[in-house]
Structure 1
C-alpha cells in the first residue's frame, strides 16, 4: 500500500477532487499496530476498481489528534474508510484477530459499498422514460451479481498470487543477504587469519632477532670478562714481580730451584751483599766483630733503603755482631 505523503487536509482535498475512497490508518504503538501495518503492506491498490487515497498516522501524533477530534478513535489500531462526503463507510479494527484473507475481504466489501454510493442517479424526464430506464437497469442488476462475485474472486486470487510472488521475492532477497553475509564473514575470517599469521611470523622474526642480540651481548660480556680476568692476572703478576726477591735477569729461571746448603765457616771477615729494589747490589766486607749498625750506616751513606735481608735478623738489636748471627764469610 502506498500512503499519501502530505497532510490530512490535503489528502481530503485530493480524495474529493478525484472522487476517491479516503482511507485513514492510525497505527498504535504495540504489536497489533505492527500487525495491521503488515496487512496493509500486502495490499495492492491496483486490485480495486476505484481510486483510493490513503494516509498513515501514528498514535499520539498531532495529525492523529486532529483526526480524532472529528472521528473519535476509541480503539487503535484502526482503519477508517470515508466516502467523498466525509461519511465513514467502514472502520476495521483488530478486536477480533484477522488474517490477510479476512482483511482483504473487508476492504473489498467497503470498496463495493463506496462504488454503489457514488453511482449517478438516473435522470427522470417523463414516466415512460423512467419506467424504461428502470426496467433496463433492473436487468443488468440481476445479471451483474454473478459477475461481481466472479470479479471479487479474481481479485482475491490475484491478490494471493501477488502476495505469493512478494513472499518469494522476500525469501530470495533474504537468501541473497544471508549468502552475502556468509561471504563477508568468510572474507573477514580469512583476513583475520592472515593478519594473525603475519603477526605470528613477525613475532618469530623479532624473537630470533632478540636471540641474536642476546647472543652477541653474551659474547661481548664473555669477552669483557676474559679481558678483565687477563688484566687482573697481569696486574697480579706485575705486583708479584715487583715484590719478588730475584733480579730481572733471573726472571726466567725456575723459582723452586734447590740451592746448595752452605755451612758457616769461622772467620774474622764477613762479606754482606744487599740487593736494592731497582736491581742494584751493594757488597761490602765487615769484620766478624762488627755490629749490624755498621751495615745500616753504610746503606744510609749510599742514600738507599734496605728491602731484603738474606737471613732474618732482629734489626732492632744493631749491637749484635755478625758472627753471633752465624753468618758465613760470604752472605
Structure 2
C-alpha cells in the first residue's frame, strides 16, 4: 500500500482515516504501508510507472506489481475498510492467500495515537522512499523467512480442518521467490530511473558547460567590442580636435583677410571722398535740372489742358479747327461753327464719332472740359433732317482721301516708270489750289473731291523732273545735298579726278 499525501485538507483527513482502529485492524495482516510526499523525488519516480492522478491517493499493489485497487481522494472509514477487504478477496481469489506473518505488517505512517504530529524519526523509518527503504526491507524479509515459515506451518496445522475445502497452500519457497522477483523488478525500475536521472544531470552539466563557454565567448567578444569602441572614440576625438584646430586657423585667416579688406576699403573711401563729393554735386545738379524739366512739362500740360483744340468736320468731308478755353461752353463752339459755315447747312447739331455721341440742348450749357472735349477733340456737324449714314459716308470719303495721300507718291513713281518705258508725253501743268483754300472751301459735289485728287497727281508728276537726275539711260534720285561735286569722277584706286 502506497499512500500519496500532500499538505491540503483532504490529505490530512485521509491520514486520519488510516489511523482509525477499524482500518488498522483490517490492514494488520498481509500489508506493507509506505507514505510518500507528493513533493518528493520518490513520488516523481513512482509516477513514471504508475500515474498519480490526484492527491491524496492510495495504491494497493499485488506481489506481481499489478495495482489491485486505487483509492482517489478522501473516503470514509467504512469505505476504506470495505476496499481493504475487497483487495484481500481479490488477492485470495488468484490463489495467493495471505499467510499470517508472511509479511511484516507495517502500521500507517501516521499511526501515532491521539492524532499527534509525526516525528522525524517515525517519518524516516516508516515513510522512506523506495530507494532508501528497499535494501532494509530485502534484508528484513530474508532474516524473517525462517520465523515466517515456522509460523506458517503452525497456522497451517491449526487451520487444516477449517480450510479443507480450499486449495492447497502455496509453498513458502514460492512466495519468497515471487517476492524477490517483484523486489528485483522494482529495484531494476528504480535503478533505471536513477540512471536516467544521472544522465539528465550529466546532460544538464554539459548544457551548463556549453552555456558557460558561450557566455565566456560572448564576454570575450564584448570586451573586444568595448576596446574597439574605445579606440574608435579616441580616434574620433582626435579627428574632432584636429578639425577644430583647422577651423580655428581658418577663422583666424578669415579675420585677417577681413581686416585687410576693411583697411583697403577705408583707404579707398578716403581717396574717393573728393570724387564722391563731385559726383554728389553733379547728381544734385542733374536732379535740379530734372526738376526744372518736370516743372516745365507740368506747366505745359496745364497750359494744354487750359485750351481745347476742336476740329469741326463738315458733311462734305472738309474741316476747320479752332481753339477755345477749356472752361468755355459748348454753345460758344456751336456759334463759332455757325458763323464759319453760314447758312450752308441750315440748322445743325454737333456730335462726336468716337465715342459716338450726339449733343443735346442740355449739353450746350456744359463746359468743354466736362464733355471731355479738352485738350483736343473732333466734332461733326449734323444738318437737321439728314440721316446719320451720310455722316459715316463723309467720314469714309475722308478716310479714302487720307489713304490716297499716302499712296499717291508710290503711284507717281509707278507712272514715272511707265511713262519712261512707253515714252508718254508729259502732261500740262495746271494750277493747283493751296492747302489753306481747300481747308476753307466747301465743294458741294463729289466732282470737286475728284478734281483735288487729280491736282495732287499732276503736282507729283510736275516735280518729277526736279526729283530725278538723268545720266544717259540711268536715273537717280536728287537730294538737297547734291552739288557740283557730284559730277567728279573717280579712278580705280579710290582717287578723285578733278
TM-score category by the smaller chain? 0.3 to 0.5
Higher relative contact order, structure no. (Cα contacts within 8 Å, ≥ 6 residues apart):
1
TM-score, length-scaled by structure 2: 0.28
